[in-house]
Amino acid sequence: MRRYRHASVRVAVASAAAVAALAPAASAKPKPEPEPVVPICNVIVDYAGDTSYGDADILSGDIASGTKLVTAVLRLRSLAFTDPVVRTGARWELAFTVGGSRYAYSTRRDALGATTSTFTRQAQGGQAVVVAVPMTTLDTAARQVRWSVPRTVIPELPVEPAGTKMYGLTAATWVSPADVAADVALGKSYPDGYPSCVQTG
C-alpha cells in the first residue's frame, strides 16, 4: 500500500510542475503591433479663390526632409499660364525658419516663359543670400511648383535627420514684372525627417 501511495505523490508533484511550467505561456499575451505613423501633409493650407489669378492662388504646401534632400511643394489652383497678367510674369515662394535662420525657395517666370529659381538664407540680423539653385519643377498637370536642395546647404540641420523643428512656414505669390502681391498663406511647423506625403528628391 505504501508503494502505491508514494507513486501517487510523485505523479501529483510531476503534474503540478507541468501545469506551473505551462502557466506563463498560457497567460502571456501577444505584443500589440505598433501603430502606423501617419505622414504629415498640408502644413500650409489656404482658401481657394482668394485671388483672381489662378496660377497664383495658393491651395496648400508642404516641406519634407530626408538624409540627402530638403524638398518643398507649393500647390496652386491652376498652373496653365492662361491669365494675361500672369503671362507677363509671376513668382512663387515657400519659406521656413530653422535655428533662427530664414530660408526661402523662390521661382520667377518671365514673359517668355523662362524660369529662374533660387534658395536663399537670411541669418539673424543679416541679408538674404543665395546659397543654392534648387532643382525646380513647374508641374502644370499637378498644378504645383516643386523644389529640392541638398540638406548640406542648411547648416542648422544635423547630418542625419533628428526632428529639428522647421517653423514659421509661409507661402506667397506675385504677378506681373512689377511683383504685385497676389496671395499669401501661413503654415505649421515640420520636424526634420518626419514622414511626409511629399517624397524628397
Q: For the segment 55-93, what is each residue's pLDDT rounded down to a tens digit?
A: 999 999 999 999 999 999 999 999 999 999 999 999 999
**Which cell goes with 193?**
525627417
Q: Which CATH number does the domain 44-191 belong to among 2.60.40, 3.10.450, 3.40.1710, 1.20.1740?
A: 2.60.40
Residues 6+ apart with CB under 8 A from 68: 150, 151, 200, 201
Helices (H), 107-199: none
Q: For the segment 99-114, what is each residue's pLDDT rounded down to a tens digit?
A: 999 999 999 999 999 9
- What Cα–Cα distance (Å) separates residue 36 from each residue in 23, 33, 195? 32, 9, 11
pTM: 0.83
| Lookup result for grid cell 529662374 | 116
Q: For the segment 20-40, what is each residue's pLDDT rounded down to a tens digit?
A: 454 555 456 777 777 788 999
